[in-house]
Amino acid sequence: MLLKREVGGVLDHFEAGIRESFGVHAAGRFRLQIASAVNHQHWRSHRFEGRAIVVPLAHAALTEPDYFLERVLTRITSAEQPLPGPPLEILVGNIWNALKMFNWDSGDIWVISLMHLPILDWVTGALFLVGVVLSIVRYARDRSWLDLFLLLSIPLWMAPSILSLAFPNENPAPNRAAGAMIPAFTLAGFGLASILIGIRQAWPRRVGLVAAGGTGLLLLTLAGANNYRMQFQDFMTVYRARSLNTGDAGRVVRGFAESVGSYETAHVVPFPFWMDTRLVAFQAGRPGIDYALKPEDIQGLAGETAAQLFLVNIDDVESMTQLEELFPTGVAERFVAAVEGHDFWIYFVPQRNPTP
């Protein structure tokens, strides 16, 4: 009975967190999955599901062990570069920095999160801390292993980020620590439920119910508004300013190929810290092609008579000079991007008659 009551309690906590982060339907499925795992009668089916997930990973590890382990070994060991300090000292520092991801600093990976800001909004972050404190208090009082497991699961899920010993500057990495969001939202849901239950019990009858419901609605509204602003305003602004406009380049290539040229005669002249030329092909509808044409290879197109298209970085003066000298009939046009600082040169060479 005691184990059954404890399992039911932790399922309630998990359900509260999942409801807040993924919705009622996902919470119901999550609860059923955990309940089934606890039930010994369904253990075999879950063991089969686990094997189904492990088999492709094991196959990749056995057939391509170097590629499979490369990222792990270069981060945990000194395979790529020496460790910047004593391993234990780096590990402790990584754990501390990783735990700060939720409420203080989520790192500097701008393609994933807002740099050096908490991964959680201030409402969810506060509820998360309330849930952490209450779980610690519950464990100190009842010695329930479920509370301890919930707390320890956070650094456990963050291990792919924490164990970056050779590159501690890569920690925290929200993408590698994404698994920790499950217990984090569970604790936030536990904190929210505890606050609302406390308010409900503080006032009798309908007054407490209305106060708890109003408080819950207010907190959820604030959390939703904060997350909307963080995702669709703050993050979008940073992402558009920092990401390169390969979509614009791809549309230019497609327009050229579908009018006077072809996909085979379009080129992107590489430049340091500029566009990934493979993404240009992807955006043009030709994935798997690399449109890179090195400046030293431009000379090899001097005898081509078909129409040619060259996309050149706005600061690449040498390549533009070379194109103008090699193809004097070409036309240069500056592509003005929607985001400042993302312009590039379009150098179009019309079709030429063969030299007799």
The string of pLDDT tens digits covering residues 267-289 is 999 999 999 999 999 999 999 99
pLDDT at residue 353, rounded to an integer: 73
* Least-confidence region, from 55-64, 103-112, 177-186, 305-314: 55-64
- What band does 23 get if pLDDT is binned at 50, 70 and 90? very low
Mean residue pLDDT of the chain comes to 86
Cα-Cα-Cα-Cα dihedral sign, residues 146, 147, 148, 152? positive
Instruction: Specify the pTM.
Output: 0.76
Beta-carbon neighbour count of residue 278 at 10 Å? Answer: 16
Q: What percent of the chain has pLDDT over 90?
A: 75
Residue 36 in this model has a pLDDT that exceeds 80 = no
Cβ neighbors of 228 (< 8 A, separation 6 or more) are none
pLDDT at residue 325, rounded to an integer: 94
pLDDT, tens digit (0-9, with 9 covering 90-100), for 9-20: 434 444 443 333
pLDDT at residue 238, rounded to an integer: 93
Residue 45 in this model has a pLDDT that exceeds 70 = no
Residue 254 in this model has a pLDDT that exceeds 90 = yes
CB under 8 A, 24+ apart: contacts of 253-257: 253/280, 253/281, 253/283, 253/284, 253/291, 253/309, 253/311, 254/284, 254/285, 256/307, 256/309, 256/348, 257/284
**What separation in angstroms does the CA of 260 have from each of 9, 281, 290, 350, 351?**
68, 18, 21, 8, 8
Residue 356 in this model has a pLDDT that exceeds 70 = no
pLDDT at residue 2, rounded to an integer: 33
Count Cβ atoms within 10 A of the Cβ of residue 37 and give its class: 0-12 exposed, 13-18 middle, 19 or more buried: middle
Residue 310 in this model has a pLDDT that exceeds 80 = yes
pLDDT, tens digit (0-9, with 9 covering 90-100), for 175-215: 999 999 999 999 999 999 999 999 999 988 899 999 999 99
Gyration radius from the chain CA atoms: 28
* Least-confidence region, from 31-40, 61-70, 90-99, 178-187: 31-40
Q: What percent of the chain has pLDDT over 70?
A: 85
| Higher per-residue confidence, 11 vs 64 | 64
